[in-house]
């Protein structure tokens, strides 16, 4: 069989992963990135396509009659016309729950950064602040304990549960808000408005749907404490960025930590670029080496299962 990898650069930027593993499945062609205009050409006569964000819709499918399998380096599959693929007997498989630990870790990297002020104290020491201190301990910037703080988790899937588990270990109060009431949740479950009002930390772990689009808006932000922080590692579209920028600049909330934005890569004119106390990372929560290795293993496992006649992780 012939296999085409359309956007390998989304999996590695420094060569720490190799696409050599795909050679077991047949003749392989690897493209770093594929533009919309290059998609049909880069697929060519391949039966198997692996991609992350490349859009494969009706026109591409019609132009690639050999295509039989689409494998995703991602959990989301909104870039694939799955219904049309199914009508053409093309199997589409995604990779789920590969990044749970990594994203939960990133959430607490933000939280610890905010409350422990480690980076700020590094700078103070480097700039000579401790050397000039009249006492042994120099703490001009307040830091705070996590124990007793309230974390409100919006969405209670695998990542939300992992965040709750870590928060519990720190002695935090955990509140959960989710559309589907969990049957095995030991924490307080409430509506999103109450969760926002009680939160010291409001962290989003919900999918982007018609119900969650711009969920974080001026109304919800106005309910939060001035000392509270917002964390978003889910989808950028869950936040109204103009409303969040206004809330930060006016002191309505203390800070925001964001790994996702509505437009990615980040647009130069996003209102959050220069918003007060807005800390943005470039969609990296999912990207530790071990996480990407796990993802690659899932993608290869999906492909082996399909080739053996027993596909797993099908989404169509």
The answer on 107 and 68 residing in a single domain is no
Which one-letter DSSP state was computed for residue 139?
-
- Beta-strand pair 173-177/255-258: unpaired
Q: Is residue 44 part of a domain?
A: yes
Q: Whole domain around residue 197: which residue ranges?
A: 100-280
Residue-wise pLDDT for 105-139, tens only, equals 999 999 999 999 999 999 999 999 999 999 999 99
Q: Is residue 312 part of a domain?
A: no
Instruction: Place 302 in a pLDDT band, splitting at 50, 70 and 90.
Output: very high
The answer on 190 and 80 residing in a single domain is no
Distance CA 92, CA 83 (A): 10
Beta strands in the chain (DSSP E): 2-5, 27-30, 48-51, 69-72, 91-93, 150-154, 173-177, 188-189, 201-204, 229-232, 255-258, 278-280
The answer on 266 and 183 residing in a single domain is yes
pTM: 0.94
Residue-wise pLDDT for 216-233, tens only, equals 999 999 999 999 999 999
Q: Is residue 38 part of a domain?
A: yes
The answer on 236 and 212 residing in a single domain is yes
Q: Is residue 315 part of a domain?
A: no
Structure token pair of residue 174: 């955990």
Provide the CATH number for the domain around residue 89.
3.40.50.720
CB count within 10 Å of CB 226 equals 10
Residues recorded for the chain: 316
The answer on 247 and 163 residing in a single domain is yes
Q: Is residue 316 part of a domain?
A: no
Distance CA 36, CA 21 (A): 26
Distance CA 110, CA 280 (A): 10
Structure token pair of residue 196: 């926002």
Look up 283 and say whether it is catalytic.
yes
The answer on 219 and 79 residing in a single domain is no
Using CA atoms, how far residue 167 sits from 1, 64, 108, 159, 288, in Å, is 48, 48, 9, 12, 21
The answer on 150 and 276 residing in a single domain is yes
Q: What is the pLDDT of residue 17?
A: 98
Q: What is the pLDDT of residue 114?
A: 98
Look up 241 and say whether it is catalytic.
no
User: Of the listed 235, 241, 292, 294, which one is catalytic?
Assistant: 235
The answer on 152 and 109 residing in a single domain is yes
Return the sign of the alpha-carbon dihedral for residues 217, 218, 223, 228. Answer: positive
With a CB cutoff of 8 Å and minimum separation 6, the contacts of 239 are: 204, 214, 215, 216, 230, 232, 258, 262
Q: What is the pLDDT of residue 213?
A: 97
The answer on 28 and 145 residing in a single domain is no
Question: Does pLDDT of 183 surpass 90?
Answer: no
User: Is the Cβ–Cβ distance between 258 and 251 less than 8 Å?
Assistant: no
The answer on 238 and 107 residing in a single domain is yes
User: Is the Cβ–Cβ distance between 186 and 159 less than 8 Å?
Assistant: no
The answer on 158 and 270 residing in a single domain is yes
Look up 279 and say whether it is catalytic.
no
Q: Is residue 270 part of a domain?
A: yes
Q: Is residue 265 part of a domain?
A: yes
Mean pLDDT of the chain: 97
Q: What is the pLDDT of residue 225?
A: 98
Higher per-residue confidence, 261 vs 183: 261
Q: Is residue 257 part of a domain?
A: yes
User: Of the listed 68, 117, 279, 283, which one is catalytic?
Assistant: 283
The answer on 300 and 173 residing in a single domain is no
Q: How many domains does the chain have?
A: 2
């Amino acid at each position: 069989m012939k296999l085409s990898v359309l956007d390998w650069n989304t999996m590695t930027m420094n060569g720490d992963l190799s696409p050599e593993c795909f050679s077991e499945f047949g003749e392989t062609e690897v493209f770093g990135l594929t533009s919309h205009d290059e998609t049909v050409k880069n697929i060519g006569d391949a039966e198997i396509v692996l991609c992350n964000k490349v859009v494969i819709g009706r026109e591409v499918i019609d132009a690639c009659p050999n295509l039989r399998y689409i494998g995703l380096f991602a959990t989301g599959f909104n870039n694939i016309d799955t219904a049309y693929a199914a009508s053409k007997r093309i199997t589409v498989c995604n990779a789920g729950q590969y990044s749970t630990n990594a994203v939960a870790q990133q959430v607490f990297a933000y939280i610890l950064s905010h409350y422990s002020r480690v980076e700020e104290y590094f700078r103070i020491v480097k700039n000579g602040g401790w050397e000039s201190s009249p006492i042994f301990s120099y703490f001009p910037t307040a830091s705070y304990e996590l124990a007793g703080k309230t974390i409100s988790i919006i969405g209670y899937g695998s990542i939300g549960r992992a965040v709750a588990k870590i928060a519990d270990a720190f002695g935090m109060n955990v509140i959960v808000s989710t559309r589907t009431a969990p049957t095995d949740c030991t924490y307080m479950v409430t509506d999103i408005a109450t969760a926002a009002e009680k939160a010291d930390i409001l962290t989003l772990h919900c999918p982007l749907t018609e119900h969650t689009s711009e969920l974080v808006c001026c109304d919800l932000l106005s309910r939060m404490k001035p000392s509270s922080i917002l964390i978003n590692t889910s989808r950028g579209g869950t936040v109204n960025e103009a409303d969040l920028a206004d809330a930060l600049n006016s002191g309505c909330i203390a800070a925001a930590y964001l790994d996702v934005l509505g437009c990615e890569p980040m647009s130069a004119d996003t209102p959050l670029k220069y918003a007060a106390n807005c800390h943005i990372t470039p969609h990296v929560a999912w990207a530790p080496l071990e996480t990407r290795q796990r993802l690659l293993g899932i993608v290869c496992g999906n492909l082996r299962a399909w080739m053996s006649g027993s596909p797993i992780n099908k989404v169509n």
